[in-house]
C-alpha cells in the first residue's frame, strides 16, 4: 500500500529534518529530546499540554521545573496548532508531546460524538504530518508509545489509542530518525525496515 502522503512519506528519509522520540511515560524521552537540540542556537519549545494552573500547584511546579532545566535562550510556545508552528519556524522546534496534543484536539472536537471527533482528529493529524514532511528546520517530536500507559477501556479511550497509534505511525514514516527511549536508555530505530501501515475498519465498541 502506498503512503497517504505519497512516495516521499516513506522514501528519501535522509532529506527530512524531523526526529521522532517515543517511549513510555517517565522513560526519559523528553530529556533525550532536549539533549538532541541542546547546542542548537535557536530553539522554540512547543508545549502542547496544559499550562501552569494556580489551582493545581503540583502541575504548576512540574511545568516550571521542566522550563527551568531547558537553556535560558530557548523560547516557549504554548499552542495546539503545531502544524502552523512547524510551517512558520525559522529555527529548530521541540514539540512535546503528541499525546497531549491529541487530547486537546479531541477536547476541541468534543467527546460526545466520537465518530465526528475521529473525523476531525484525522484532518488535524493529516495537516500536522504534511507540515512535518515539508519542514526545512530541525524538528524533534516527542510522543507516548501506545500500550505503555493506562488508558480507560471505554469508547473514548479506544478512540484515543487508535488515533494516537495512527499518528505515531505516520509521524514515524515522515521522520528522518526514530529513537525509542526505555528507562533512560536510547535505541535508534532509524534504520529498521518501515512496516507498511494499513488502516483497518474501526468500531468504537470493538
Domain boundaries, the chain: 16-188
pLDDT digits (tens, 9 = 90+) for 128-144: 999 999 999 999 999 99
How far is Cα 43 from Cα 28, in angstroms, rounded to an integer?
20
- The class of domain 16-188 in CATH terms is alpha beta
**pLDDT per residue over 115-128, tens digit each?**
888 888 889 999 99
Q: Active-site positions?
A: 66
Determine whether 106 is exposed, middle or buried from the number of CB atoms within 10 Å of its CB (0-12, 13-18, 19+).
buried
Residue 95 dihedral angles phi and psi, to the nearest 5° = -105, 120
Q: Residue 4: which pLDDT band, with cuts at 50, 70 and 90?
A: very low
> Which residues are paired to 143 by β-bridges?
22
Between 62 and 30, the more confident residue is 30
pLDDT for 204 equals 47
Tens digit of each residue's pLDDT (9 = 90 or more) over 169-187: 999 999 999 999 998 899 9
Residue 11 has pLDDT above 90, yes or no: no
Q: Are 46 and 79 a contacting pair, CB within 8 Å?
A: yes
Amino acid at each position: 500500500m502506498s503512503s497517504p502522503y505519497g512516495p516521499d512519506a516513506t522514501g528519501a528519509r535522509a532529506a527530512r529534518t524531523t526526529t521522532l522520540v517515543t517511549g513510555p511515560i517517565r522513560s526519559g524521552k523528553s530529556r533525550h529530546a532536549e539533549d538532541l537540540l541542546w547546542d542548537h542556537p535557536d530553539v522554540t519549545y512547543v508545549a502542547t499540554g496544559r499550562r501552569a494552573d494556580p489551582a493545581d500547584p503540583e502541575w504548576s511546579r512540574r511545568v516550571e521545573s521542566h522550563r527551568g532545566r531547558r537553556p535560558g535562550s530557548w523560547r516557549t510556545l504554548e499552542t495546539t496548532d503545531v502544524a502552523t508552528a512547524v510551517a512558520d519556524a525559522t529555527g529548530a522546534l521541540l514539540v512535546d508531546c503528541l499525546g497531549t496534543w491529541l487530547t486537546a484536539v479531541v477536547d476541541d472536537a468534543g467527546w460526545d460524538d466520537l465518530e465526528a471527533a475521529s473525523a476531525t482528529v484525522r484532518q488535524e493529524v493529516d495537516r500536522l504530518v504534511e507540515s512535518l514532511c515539508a519542514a526545512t528546520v530541525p524538528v524533534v517530536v516527542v510522543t507516548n508509545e501506545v500500550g505503555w500507559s493506562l488508558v480507560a477501556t471505554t469508547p473514548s479511550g479506544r478512540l484515543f489509542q487508535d488515533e494516537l497509534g495512527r499518528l505515531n505511525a505516520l509521524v514515524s514514516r515522515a521522520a528522518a530518525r526514530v529513537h525509542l527511549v526505555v528507562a533512560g536508555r536510547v535505541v535508534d530505530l532509524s534504520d529498521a525496515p518501515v512496516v507498511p501501515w494499513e488502516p483497518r475498519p474501526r468500531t468504537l465498541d470493538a
